[in-house]
Amino acid sequence: MQVQFEEFTNEIDDLINFLTSDTWEFHGTPNPNPDRIRVSYENQYYSSDDAKTFWVVSDSDAKVGMIRVYDLEDGNPLFDIRVSSKYKGMGVGTNTVKWLVDYIFTNYPDKERVEATTRQDNYAMRCVFHKCGFVKEAHYRRGWECSDGTIYDAIGYGITKEDWQKGQTTPVNWNDFKF
């Protein structure tokens, strides 16, 4: 599915409606509270110099997802992507992550890498990372605790500007030190 991207401005009601209209199975809080979303919005969680949020919009102008990138002012940017359940499996995630990497490396020339973390059992997202040139860089055992107390392994991925520019992936040297 072809998608376009629109920067989030002040559509707090649309944001609350979007985030509460689905269950986000692979997020720490699968069913966010509207009041908590509003407080986060008021604290510039979604839009500031350090964070930007974009709507993922279909050809028919439907908001099919959103992506929030943060740590834009310091450190390596990270992101949170959400695709509505009814649009999963249509390439929305892959198109969105590719777009975001291009956006970051084009608009933030000081950034050398983009990072992301997901749960070990989120196979769809792990496939998206692979398709978008990300490399598995970390495996955090029992590193992702959900609001219900369930604990999963967390997997860290990254893409470097150099790999993005060359259209390649450079594997991690897991055996750089002999014990």
Is residue 74 over pLDDT 90? Answer: no
Quickly tell me which residue has 């995630």 as its tokens. Answer: 93
DSSP designation for 124: H
Average the pLDDT over 117-134 and give the result: 97
pTM for this prediction: 0.94
Q: What is the mean pLDDT of residues 2-24?
A: 95
**How far is 106 from 125, CA to CA, in rounded Å?**
23
Mean pLDDT of 127-150: 95
pLDDT for 75-93, tens place per residue?
899 999 999 999 999 999 9
Q: What percent of the chain has pLDDT over 90?
A: 87
Residue 26: phi, psi to the nearest 5?
Answer: -100, 20
The string of pLDDT tens digits covering residues 16-63 is 999 999 999 999 889 999 999 999 999 999 999 999 999 999 999 999
Which residues have a Cβ under 8 Å from the Cβ of 42 and sit 6 or more positions away?
none
3-state secondary structure of 44: coil
* Domains annotated on the chain, with CATH: 3-166 (3.40.630.30)
Tell me, what amino acid is at 165?
Answer: Q
Q: What would the mean pLDDT of 1-17 be, rounded to a whole number? A: 93
Other beta carbons within 10 angstroms of residue 144's beta carbon come to 20
* 138, containing H or E segment: strand 135-145
- For residue 37, which phi and psi values (nearest 5 degrees)? -60, -45
State both tokens at 172.
Answer: 């991690």
Average pLDDT over residues 119-136: 97
